[in-house]
A and B are shown apart, each in its own frame.
Chain A
């Protein structure tokens, strides 16, 4: 059970777009369309932003989108806003009732 690989940090100016990658293996990200993304502000519980690779829960702005190619999933935030500054984590199903998270990416809005 190795953690998924995310860049430690990402940044962009207000209005710009930024993509955060999440690389796993053929046993987790590459095997299942059960990749989800979570936003966590300091001192708060994580919040679901994307599930099943591309689906957005109600209430999440359409500026947030997800995709996957092979063993790598991505979260794209378009039209960056100050309130998007947070930590972002990806998660994937890894088979046999197991899950795995990425190490997290700190998104800074410049």
Chain B
């Protein structure tokens, strides 16, 4: 069974940093690109970032470019999202998803909640 499990969420002050992790299992991790998609409370889905199968290509939403960095570790079957200079508007449930915008997001993890508040 394909599983994606996020961790690393929490409460952080504006300007702070947080690193999300997503542990993948049940499929050949190196065959797939991976993505992060967030959902602010009561709001819709927002694509955040994508990394291709070998980590050689990445993409970021304008809202996070220069502040967030996506990476992956094939030895640990994991993808990460380093979030710096966090703002209140980054408060959201962050989902990890297998796939990219040019394939499909399937499946999704249950998400890690990030709250940016003073």
Residues of B within 8 A of A (CB): 35, 37, 44-47, 50, 52, 57-63, 95, 100-111
Contacts and interface: CB of A to CB of B under 8 A. Distances in A.
A38 B101 CA distance: 13
A51 B106 contact: yes
7 contacts: A34-B101, A34-B103, A45-B95, A93-B102, A97-B50, A98-B59, A99-B100
A99 B100 CA distance: 8
A45 B108 contact: yes
B45 A89 contact: yes
A48 B44 contact: no
Contact of B44 (A32, A51, A93, A101): A101
A33 to B, nearest CB: 10
Contacts of B63: 1
